[in-house]
Structure 1
Amino acid sequence: FAMELGGPEVGRGCGGRGIIHGFELLEKLGFHEWGFDYVLLDFLGDVVCGGFGLPIARDMCQKVIVVASNDLQSLYVANNVCSAVDYFRRMGGNVGVAGMVINKDDGTGEAQAFSEAVGIPVLSAIPANEDIRRKSANYEIIGKPGGEWASVFELLAEQVAEAPPVRPTPLTHDALLNLFKGDAVGRNVVLQPATEADMCPATVSNKASLEVIYEGV
């Protein structure tokens, strides 16, 4: 069975609030009493939004599977998810992270290094392959039994079902940047503060300093 919770039109409401309403409806329908073996909830990683973080905040799931790739923005979001899980564990929650799925894996290793740093296992790595990309774009089943990618997704299914949830150790921003080469994240770039002449070159006027100096105190 599959269900799309939906949400408001673009620019006309809060998507996270739509998630909250959706779960309230599911609870009224007896969601927790349905006899399913597994229930998978697919969410954006924007846990800054309370709606998207609802399953973690309310202990509505047993474990979280983080999906990320080898780029900084993706791992930044993955780290935010780990931070949210760690926060709610400190608040008495029970949800943990079972591991990471590396998507569009190009072999550069940043996602693997991130997983090791935060203390979660890699459940599977989906390669950055044109055949997978094309089938996904065409809504085709990629992991058909006996097919080229069957073993990848069979392993993923086993890992998702069996991997126990653990409490991650989220990285600081600097530690996250250190997973990447310096030129990839601008580590050696020194930012210079903008001046009034930079911002308003045609209207710059010399003004007396507003600094207050106390003498003889």
Structure 2
Amino acid sequence: MALCDVDFRVVQGTITALIGPNGAGKTTLLNVVSGLVECCSGTVGLLGQDMTRVPAWARAQAGVVRTFQNLEVFTTMSVLENVMTGAHRDVRYGVLGALFKTPRYFLEERRCRALAEEKLEFVGLFAERSLPAWELPYGRQRLLELARALAAQPQILLLDEPAAGLNTRETQALAGLIRRIRDELNITVAIVEHDMELIMRISDAVTVLHFGQVIASGAPFEIQKNPEVIAAYLGEDAR
């Protein structure tokens, strides 16, 4: 879906939701923000810096970190090793350091391990850190993906349908976890999600996309009452 004149602003320290019907352009917008898709016009900014022509890897270095709709974990690696891959975002050793196992290599690996263990504790997976990732149930693998993203120490965390496939209990736990990410870790969150109950419960602000264009932005209670949003996304039965 092509985007047209989209103004998507995420205030630092908030949880901002991006909603809309299937095919509205939500994931495309996250791809533009994270650098996976280049925008033809307009700008992408982070904390006052123009990131429009900055490649995806450099945006990640600057703190733009995301998860994806489809679960992406390394199933043959342990839970801890998966999260350590996120912590390796800014290691201070090169290929030769890893090859020859220099003192810097061991120092950085200890730092990455400690950071990974801290994030596993945060999401409630510390006890399962030694298990291969494939042994975790689907809902726990979703938490693993989130822990890995947190280990990259984001400035802004982009979540693409994090509740997909979760049951009610898991979704309720996820809501509390996302709020803790904002409140305890001081991480700004932008979330794409179809679970409207989750969105209305945790979001500080909501932007609605329809056919690649923003049709509404505001507080959750304002979005719930917006006739254009109801017609485009929530459905007539939501009146």
**Category of TM-score, reference length = shorter chain:** 0.3 to 0.5
**1 or 2 for the larger relative contact order (CA 8 Å, sep ≥6)?**
2
Q: Pick the structure with greater CA Rg.
A: 1
- Structure number with the higher strand fraction is 2
TM-score when normalising by structure 1: 0.32
TM-score (norm 2): 0.30
Query: Could you say which structure has the higher helix fraction?
Result: 2
